[in-house]
């Protein structure tokens, strides 16, 4: 069984400062890659723990002669153990980029490896697959693309039964998928989509996770909206839905967990599966109307509830990342639901979603504040056109927690204020609950910010508040509100509104 561990591929033994510096570098590299639309990450399964305390990698660089020797031994050795050992040695060598290069340029090497992959010695097969997996993980295109002769077999094995083997094939395919359009141009006609669809039936959660990985890599491809999603194999509402929506409820149902991995806490399962799996939902946004008619909103809502529950029970890393795709999916789908002629029963109405979202926001604040904007964006989409959800915010006493988020960042402040505007603009019945209360004081605080957008949004909120709750204007004056406004009288983007508010406050 594969053991999941959040380990580090880099040698330990470097100081905390060094680790932080590396992390900052990696982050910067990822941001740059994303802006250039080159953001891809591959998954690696490996059975050797990195050596502690040694610099550099443990992989041995193998020369041509050695590779040939190992291949021959694996193919024709007399002793089974000997053959296995040869392949294991080859695999270890293939962890090193130089060995990988030597391997792919050696004539007949891939052919031999594919032969071993399709042999009937189960363990040789597994080792050969692991060799391929190492190659697929390479950052060098030439190395990954050298694996192409094996893809038809990897796909064939997806309809097999050995869960570890299928998992390995899926991760290898996922790595290859993300490599280049050339690779995908081969995989699509080879039937990757139906092959992946077949894996949905697997009772093994680990296979589902691997499937989610492969699927999300496929759907993230640049050409996905034009070439992959409309592909005949993907087409047809039913197959598309069976495909992805079976995954969600399957992960949600308690029986899945109980049956397969009884030893893992449910939250960790979520964390593992969802990071790979749910992003693929986000990328399948093209056919949103169909997703909605099949109950996507409520399923996603339930997922959110489950997440909030998990977050309360455990501190597992990665959970906040699972939340991200769910939030995005739900948030974007809500905009579809508004536009399309969606039936009443398909709308999202469950108040618990708001409760769940706030639990997640609290979690984000502790673990990963950079995810707060996405959570608040969902809150905006929930409350903008929904008196019911706005009422929930009030009845569940969530205004004050919301205000506590104001100091986090300018982006967060603007979003918080926008949500509050959503509530306030619904009229006097709503503003009655906004003042008296801590809101006014917070607004006086945000007026002191230098960011124009934050101040602008504060002014909008004040206008609504004064309009529907004139007494608030009085309190505002008494708390030196005018002075707070004066600061911005000269600001081009703000002065008209500042002036208008001053008039309203003074003359009603």
Partner 1 sequence: MQLPPAVHARLAGGPGAAEPLPVERSPKAGAAPFRFTARQVRFPREHEFFEDGDVQRHLYLQDVLTQVAGAPERPRVPEFTCQVAGCCQVFDALEDYEHHYHTLHRNVCSFCKRAFPSGHLLDIHILEWHDSLFQILSERQNMYQCLVEGCTEKFKTSKDRKDHLVRRHLYPADFRFDKPKKSISPATPRATVQVSAEALGAEGEQAEGDAMEVCSEPAGERHMAGRRIPPTICFGQGASRGFKSTKKRNKHQ
491: preceding bond cis by omega (within 30 degrees):
no
Specify the residue, 48 or 486, whose C-beta has the smaller distance to partner 1. Answer: 48
- Say whether residue 198 binds partner 1 (CB under 8 A): yes
Distance, CA of 288 to CA of 240 (rounded, Å):
11
Tokens at residue 422, please? 């959503």
279 binds partner 1 (CB under 8 A): yes
Q: Rank residues 460 and 478 by Cβ distance to partner 1 and give the closer one.
A: 460
Among 20, 21, 25, 26, binds partner 1 (CB under 8 A): 26
> Is the Cβ–Cβ distance between 48 and 58 less than 8 Å?
yes
Tell me the C-alpha to C-alpha distance, in Å, between residue 252 and each of 172, 267, 305, 481.
26, 11, 10, 50
Nearer to partner 1, 317 or 477 (CB): 317
Which member of 309, 437, 445, 470 binds partner 1 (CB under 8 A)? Answer: 309
**Nearest approach, Cβ of 464 to partner 1 (angstroms)?**
6
Q: Which stretch binds partner 1 (CB under 8 A): 13-21, 249-257, 441-449, 494-502?
A: 494-502
String marking each residue 390-419 x if it binds partner 1 according to CB under 8 A: xxx-xxxxx-xx--xx--------------
Q: Is 75 in the site for partner 1 (CB under 8 A)?
A: yes
d(CA 284, CA 413): 31
| Closer residue to partner 1 in complex, CB, 180/478 | 180
262 contacts: CB under 8 Å, gap ≥ 6: none
Establish if 245 lies at the interface with partner 1 (CB under 8 A): no
- Choice between 1 and 478, CB closer to partner 1: 1
DSSP class of residue 262? T
Question: Can you tell me the distance from the alpha carbon of 91 to that of 197, in angstroms, rounded to the nearest whole number?
Answer: 30
Could you tell me the smallest distance in angstroms from the CB atom of residue 260 to partner 1? 13
- Report 435-474 residues binding partner 1 (CB under 8 A): 457, 459-461, 463-464, 467-468
Closest distance between partner 1 and the C-beta of residue 293, in Å? 19
226 sits in the region (left: phi over 0; alpha: psi -120 to 50; else beta) called alpha
Q: CA–CA separation, 372 vs 347, rounded Å?
A: 25
- Which of 91, 282, 469, 488 touches partner 1 by CB under 8 A? 282
Applying CB under 8 A, which of residues 13, 63, 149, 236 lies at the interface with partner 1? 149
Residue bearing tokens 């609950």: 433
Q: For the residues of 463-498, what is the DSSP string, one character each?
A: HHHHHH-HHHHHHHHHTTHHHHHHTTTT-TTTHHHH
**Segment 333-372, which members bind partner 1 (CB under 8 A)?**
334-335, 338, 349-352, 355-356, 358-359, 361-362, 365, 368, 370-371
User: Residues 6 or more apart from 74 whose CB is under 8 A from it?
Assistant: 83, 84, 86, 87, 90, 112, 116, 124, 127, 128
Asked if 199 contacts 158 with a C-beta cutoff of 8 angstroms, the reply is yes
Nearer to partner 1, 251 or 329 (CB): 329
User: What is the distance between the alpha carbons of residues 355 and 343, in angstroms, rounded to a whole number?
Assistant: 24
* Shortest distance, position 285 Cβ to partner 1, whole Å: 7
By CB under 8 A, the count of residues binding partner 1 is: 144
Enumerate residues 33-52 that contact partner 1 by CB under 8 A.
34-35, 37, 39, 41, 43-47, 49-50
The answer to the question of residue 195 lying near partner 1 (CB under 8 A) is: yes
Please give the backbone phi and psi of residue 377, each rounded to the nearest 5 degrees, phi first. -60, -45
């Amino acid at each position: 069984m594969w053991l999941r561990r959040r380990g580090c591929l880099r040698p330990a033994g470097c100081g905390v400062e060094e680790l932080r510096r590396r992390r900052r570098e990696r982050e910067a590299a990822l941001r740059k890659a994303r802006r250039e639309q080159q953001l891809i990450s591959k998954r690696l399964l490996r059975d050797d723990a990195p050596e502690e305390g040694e610099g550099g990698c443990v992989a041995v660089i193998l020369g041509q002669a050695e590779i040939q020797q190992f291949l021959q031994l694996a193919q024709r050795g007399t002793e089974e153990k000997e053959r296995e050992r040869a392949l294991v040695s080859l695999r270890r060598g293939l962890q090193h980029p130089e060995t990988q290069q030597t391997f792919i340029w050696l004539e007949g090497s891939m052919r031999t490896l594919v032969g071993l992959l399709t042999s009937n010695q189960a363990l040789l097969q597994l080792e050969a697959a692991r060799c391929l997996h190492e190659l697929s993980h390479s950052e060098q295109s030439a190395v990954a693309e050298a694996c192409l002769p094996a893809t038809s077999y990897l796909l064939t094995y997806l309809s097999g039964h050995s869960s570890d083997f299928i998992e390995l094939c899926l991760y290898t395919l996922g790595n290859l998928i993300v490599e280049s359009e050339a690779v995908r141009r081969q995989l699509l006609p080879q039937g990757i989509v139906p092959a992946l669809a077949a894996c949905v039936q697997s009772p093994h959660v680990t296979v589902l996770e691997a499937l989610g990985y492969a699927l999300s890599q496929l759907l993230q491809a640049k050409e996905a909206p034009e070439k992959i999603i409309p592909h005949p194999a993907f087409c047809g509402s039913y197959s598309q839905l069976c495909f992805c929506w079976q995954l969600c409820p399957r992960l949600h149902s308690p029986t899945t967990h109980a049956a397969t991995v009884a030893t893992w806490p449910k939250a960790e399962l979520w964390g593992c599966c969802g990071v790979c799996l749910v992003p693929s939902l986000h990328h399948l946004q093209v056919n949103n109307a169909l997703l909605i008619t099949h109950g996507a909103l409520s399923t996603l809502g339930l997922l959110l509830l489950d997440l909030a529950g998990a977050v309360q029970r455990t501190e597992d890393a990665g959970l906040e990342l699972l939340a991200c795709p769910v939030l995005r999916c739900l948030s974007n789908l809500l905009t579809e639901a508004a536009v399309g002629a969606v039936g009443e029963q398909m709308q999202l109405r469950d108040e618990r979603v708001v409760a769940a979202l706030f639990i997640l926001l609290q979690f984000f604040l502790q673990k990963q504040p950079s995810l707060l904007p996405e959570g608040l964006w969902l809150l905006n989409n929930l409350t903008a056109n929904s008196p019911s959800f706005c009422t929930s915010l009030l009845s569940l006493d969530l205004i004050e927690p919301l205000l506590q988020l104001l100091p986090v960042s300018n982006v967060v402040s603007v979003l918080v204020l926008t949500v509050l505007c959503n509530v306030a603009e619904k009229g006097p019945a709503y503003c009655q609950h906004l003042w008296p209360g801590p809101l006014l004081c917070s607004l006086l605080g945000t007026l002191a910010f230098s960011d124009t957008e934050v101040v602008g949004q504060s002014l909008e909120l004040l206008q609504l508040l004064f309009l529907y709750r004139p007494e608030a204007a009085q309190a505002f004056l008494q708390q030196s509100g005018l002075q707070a406004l004066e600061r911005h009288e000269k600001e081009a983007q703000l002065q008209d509104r500042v002036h208008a508010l001053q008039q309203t406050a003074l003359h009603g």
